[in-house]
Amino acid sequence: MTRKRAEELRLLIEKAAAGLPDADALEAAALFEAWQPDRDYLRGQRVRWAGCLYRLIPESHHSQADWPPSLVPSIWARVDKPDEEWPAWRQPLGTEDAYPAGAKVSHQGKHWVNSHGDGNVWEPGVFGWTEQN
């Protein structure tokens, strides 16, 4: 296969991958490009970063080296399995990715439900979470 043909096929793959639902996109994360600094991205575009898949929230964004997806939840939303009942807890970075009331998480081998209300940024077991048996 020629380099030109490979590039044509890559564009077709990227176009097809863009239409995948999140659950399927997670299964085929290798189809998405790795996030890169100094690059233009469009709303809804998904990228791989630090072992996770992220989707761009605003209409467009020019990436910066000091703003990778994991550090700017107001720009990049992490794509998680939509049907996972007890996803692993992760520390919110601000109000954009804080947990809503009733959110369920797993943390340190236990299941927790957010009893604090919307905007919970605390770690389960410290404040604002009720352990489930």
Q: Residue 59: give the domain boundaries.
A: 1-80
Q: Are 40 and 62 in contact (CB under 8 A)?
A: yes
- 75 and 89, same domain (yes or no): no
- 75 and 36, same domain (yes or no): yes
pLDDT digits (tens, 9 = 90+) for 78-126: 998 878 899 999 999 888 889 999 999 999 999 999 999 999 999 999 9
The reported pLDDT for the residue numbered 44 is 93
Round to whole Å and give the CA distance between 100 and 123: 14
Q: How many domains does the chain have?
A: 2
The reported pLDDT for the residue numbered 41 is 97
Q: 61-64 long-range CB contacts below 8 Å, 24 or more apart?
A: 62/38, 63/35, 63/36, 63/37, 63/38, 63/39, 64/37, 64/38
Q: Is 90 exceeded by the pLDDT of residue 10?
A: no
**CATH number (domain holding residue 91):** 2.10.10
- 3 and 59, same domain (yes or no): yes
pLDDT digits (tens, 9 = 90+) for 48-85: 999 999 999 999 999 999 999 999 988 999 998 878 89
- 2 and 65, same domain (yes or no): yes
